[in-house]
């Protein structure tokens, strides 16, 4: 029968499209429904990918202005062509979202562009401009991701008071840029516009930036970002942000109002569950997240959920792991995600990356641990790159030496952290890391040296 599928996936972000492809590989007849006109979800269209493209371009601009001269490169007056920078970003997004289309075709996943609603047991309606199509689904997987969380008093108009979506495409560099929230999004996009010339003020409710990350790393990061020109106002409660003409007025508790040319609201994201018809079929939410049990099953038979809509870090790679585990459990009877070994990266400069437990968590749990730290200023590769800021910290169990956490602030921390994630996933000891031969000269040697420092035997320090 037409429109009958083994699995209907709702949402084509990293969680949804990975699930659809893996299910097709395993022999299921799969459809994937996406409400936007391009596949790839927030990550590919308006999140990870466009932000990383802008982070790269803006970093090159910054390097050309501030650092080329010390390499003996004179390039005169460096000028910004923002329109070209934005076009490059858009072209990368187009290539990658088109890539998901290609993968769907290759794996025979049927794509529906329209808004999905679960209308009954094993039934999903897809609505688009031309009407409604009903799909029969043996199984339904919800992978609808997250949306920016609103903040009381902050009136997003999409032009002056904006979310991350618009902050990826400002057509000119704002003179005064106010960022609400010193989390991943605030710091990454704050960095982009700071490098391009904006005066960036970050308003953070807590007494530190990047809550959740290792506090030693975030304190060091704050110093570096401040030296780059970003201003941080911590313990600051935003009462309101409202557009007035072409600007916005931001009012914080006990402070003078701030006039901004652009405001970015980056105070977290919330699960995207509205309009899915969850209440109709009896799916329960806990604090806005879809509650799931083993193998990502909701309380309703044949309906599963993964990614940002369920509890856990809102990270593309976490959703991808869950996608594969969920589908494999459905088809093969087992699937597993190791939540202790999910890395995270903040793509500022330097980057901040971590996996496993933070030192704060270990202290709070009263754990008996050892700590090895190695600074990049003692790493030869970092010196040749001109990237000597930051350090690597390895935390290991005092008795067993098992690696409990690795935290890095430094150049290409995004790549180094994957080795640390493998170590955590394989229950490696710091000794294992220390005795693994690392190519020289590489930044990764700092991880090996930090592992050696756990036993006070780092060589180059
Ligand atoms: P976040 O949770 O990382 O940070 C939000 C910040 O806003 C926190 O520091 C919080 O204390 C602060 N905040 C909350 N209410 C506030 C208020 N009223 N006034 C001032 N500050 C306030 O959330 P963010 O940056 O919006 O990112 C959302 C999600 O997207 C995160 O969970 C993150 O994992 C993910 N993401 C991941 C990226 C990556 O992997 N590189 C990049 C961007 C986002």
**Domain-embedded: residue 459:** no
CATH code where residue 389 lies: 3.30.390.30
Report CA(253)–ligand 1 centroid distance (Å): 20
- Indicate if 277 and 261 belong to the same structural domain: no
Lowest-pLDDT range, 160-164, 186-190, 280-284, 324-328?
280-284
**Domain-embedded: residue 326:** yes
Half-sphere exposure of 363 (CA within 13 A, CB side): 7
Among the candidates 267, 283, 300, a domain finishes at 267
**In degrees to the nearest 10, what's the CA dihedral of 345, 349, 54, 11?**
10
Q: Is 76 exposed, middle or buried (0-12, 13-18, 19+ CB in 10 A)?
A: exposed
pLDDT of 371 reads: 98
End-to-end alpha carbon distance in the chain: 69
Would you say how long the chain is, in residues? 461
- Indicate if 12 and 30 belong to the same structural domain: yes
3-class secondary-structure state, position 366 = coil
Residue 433's alpha-carbon distances to 254, 354, 355, 451, in angstroms, are 50, 16, 15, 6
- Indicate if 121 and 183 belong to the same structural domain: no
**Domain-embedded: residue 139:** yes
- Indicate if 20 and 102 belong to the same structural domain: yes
Please state the domain count of the chain.
Answer: 3
- Indicate if 47 and 135 belong to the same structural domain: yes
> Would you say residue 63 has pLDDT above 80?
yes
Report CA(370)–ligand 1 centroid distance (Å): 30
Confidence of residue 1 (pLDDT cuts 50, 70, 90): low
**Domain-embedded: residue 235:** yes
- Indicate if 328 and 350 belong to the same structural domain: no
Which pairing describes strands 247-252 and 238-244: parallel, antiparallel, or unpaired? antiparallel
pLDDT of 2 reads: 77
pLDDT of 123 reads: 97
- Indicate if 261 and 184 belong to the same structural domain: yes
Of the residues 317, 407, 438, 440, only one is catalytic, namely 440
Report CA(216)–ligand 1 centroid distance (Å): 19
For a pocket test of ligand 1, which of 155, 185, 312 has the largest count of ligand atoms closer than 8 A to its C-beta?
Answer: 185
State what percent of residues in the chain have pLDDT above 90: 99
Distance CA 19, CA 309 (A): 15
Per residue in 142-165, pLDDT tens? 999 999 999 999 999 999 999 999
**Domain-embedded: residue 138:** yes
- Indicate if 206 and 138 belong to the same structural domain: no
- Indicate if 286 and 357 belong to the same structural domain: no
- Indicate if 113 and 15 belong to the same structural domain: yes
Distance CA 229, CA 73 (A): 24
Among the candidates 229, 252, 267, a domain finishes at 267
Distance CA 15, CA 100 (A): 12
- Indicate if 137 and 278 belong to the same structural domain: yes
**Domain-embedded: residue 424:** yes
CATH code where residue 231 lies: 3.50.50.60
Counting from 1 in the atom list of ligand 1, the atom nearest the Cα of 47 is: 43
**Looking at 380-426, which runs of residues are DSSP E strands?**
391-397, 403-410
Please give the residue range of the domain that contains residue 218.
161-267
Rg, C-alpha atoms of the chain? 23
DSSP letter, residue 197: T
Distance CA 176, CA 156 (A): 17
Select from 311, 313, 312, 314 the least CA-distant residue to 284.
311
Counting from 1 in the atom list of ligand 1, the atom nearest the Cα of 238 is: 19
Among the candidates 337, 356, 388, a domain finishes at 337
DSSP letter, residue 356: E
Per residue in 217-272, pLDDT tens? 999 999 999 999 999 999 999 999 999 999 999 999 999 999 999 999 999 999 99
- Indicate if 113 and 228 belong to the same structural domain: no
The two structure tokens encoding residue 145: 């991701």
- Neighbouring CB atoms inside 10 A of 126's CB total 22
Report CA(184)–ligand 1 centroid distance (Å): 5
**Domain-embedded: residue 153:** no
For a pocket test of ligand 1, which of 189, 206, 268 has the largest count of ligand atoms closer than 8 A to its C-beta?
Answer: 268
Active site residue 336: no
User: What is the model's pTM?
Assistant: 0.97
Residues in the ligand 1 pocket, defined by CB under 6 Å: 151, 180-186, 188, 203-206, 211, 238, 266-269, 313-315, 344-347
């Amino acid at each position: 029968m037409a429109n009958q599928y083994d699995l209907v996936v709702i949402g084509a972000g990293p969680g949804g499209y990975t699930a659809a492809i893996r299910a097709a590989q395993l022999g299921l007849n799969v459809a994937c429904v996406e409400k936007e006109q391009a596949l790839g979800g927030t990550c590919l269209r308006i999140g990870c990918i466009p932000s990383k493209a802008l982070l790269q371009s803006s970093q090159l601009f910054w390097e050309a202005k501030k650092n080329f001269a010390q390499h003996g490169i004179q390039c005169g007056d460096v000028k910004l062509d923002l329109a070209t920078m934005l076009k490059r970003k858009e072209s990368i997004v187009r290539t990658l979202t088109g890539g998901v289309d290609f993968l769907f075709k290759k794996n025979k996943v049927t794509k529906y562009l329209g808004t999905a609603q679960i209308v009954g047991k094993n039934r999903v309606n897809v609505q688009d401009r031309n009407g409604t199509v009903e799909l029969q689904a043996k199984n339904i997987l919800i992978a609808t991701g997250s949306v920016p969380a609103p903040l009381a008093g902050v009136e997003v108009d999409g032009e002056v008071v904006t979310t991350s979506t618009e902050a990826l495409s400002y057509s000119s560099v704002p003179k005064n840029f106010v960022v609400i929230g010193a989390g991943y999004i605030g710091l990454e996009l704050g960095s982009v516009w700071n490098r391009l010339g904006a005066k960036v003020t970050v308003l953070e409710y807590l007494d530190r930036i990047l809550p959740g990350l290792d506090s030693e790393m975030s304190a060091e990061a704050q110093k570096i970002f401040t030296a780059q020109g970003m201003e941080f106002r911590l313990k600051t409660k935003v009462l309101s942000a409202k557009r007035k003409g072409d600007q916005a007025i931001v009012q914080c508790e006990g402070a003078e109002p701030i006039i901004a040319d652009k405001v970015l609201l980056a105070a977290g994201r919330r699960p995207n569950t509205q309009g899915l018809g969850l209440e109709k079929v009896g799916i329960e939410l806990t604090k806005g997240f879809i509650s799931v049990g083993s193998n990502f099953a909701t309380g309703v038979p044949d309906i599963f959920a993964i990614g940002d809509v369920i509890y856990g870090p809102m990270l593309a790679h976490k959703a991808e792991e869950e996608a594969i585990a969920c589908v494999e459990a459905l088809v093969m009877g087992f699937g597993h995600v190791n939540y202790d070994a999910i890395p995270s990266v903040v793509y500022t400069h330097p980057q901040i990356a971590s996996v496993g437990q933070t030192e704060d968590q270990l202290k709070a749990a009263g754990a008996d641990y050892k700590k090895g730290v190695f600074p990049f200023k003692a790493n030869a590769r970092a010196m040749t790159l001109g990237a000597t800021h930051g350090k690597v910290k390895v935390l290991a169990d005092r008795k067993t030496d098992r690696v409990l956490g690795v935290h890095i602030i430094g150049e290409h921390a995004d790549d180094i952290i994957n080795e640390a994630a493998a170590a955590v996933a394989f229950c490696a000891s710091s000794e294992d890391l220390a005795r693994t031969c690392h190519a020289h000269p590489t930044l990764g040697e700092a991880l090996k040296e930090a592992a050696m420092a756990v036993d006070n035997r780092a060589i180059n320090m």
